[in-house]
Amino acid sequence: MGAAPKALKAGDVLFREGDNSTSMLVVKKGRLIVCKSKGTAEIELAEIGAGQMIGEMAFFDRKPRSATVKAKLDSEVIELPFSSLQTQFDS
């Protein structure tokens, strides 16, 4: 049985720059925006769509989130915890 998708409404924050990294995510539907803070402004770096992954680099470096990710449209993501991925990676 797979993980249940997490629903996001447009504008919802999935995670913020500096948050702890414990999972990567796959976008099931919708669009997400990746952005960074610069002073009081926010700079959009990328858009992530259905079928794409987000947060995968943290699986390898285990560092805090390097950017904020929020829903541009109503979206669904599937969370893949690093603990489960590590078991698969080790085998």
pLDDT band at 1 (very low <50, low <70, confident <90, very high): very low
Q: What percent of the chain has pLDDT over 70?
A: 92
Average pLDDT for residues 67-85, to the nearest whole number? 90
pLDDT band at 78 (very low <50, low <70, confident <90, very high): very high
Helix (H, G, I), strand (E, B) or coil at 23: strand
Could you report the per-residue pLDDT of 9-29, keeping only the tens digit for each? 999 999 999 999 888 999 999
Instruction: In whole angstroms, give the CA distance from residue 63 to residue 73.
Output: 27
Those residues whose C-beta lies under 8 Å from the C-beta of residue 55, and which sit 6 or more positions away, are: 15, 21, 23, 24, 25, 65, 69
pLDDT (0 to 100) of residue 2: 56
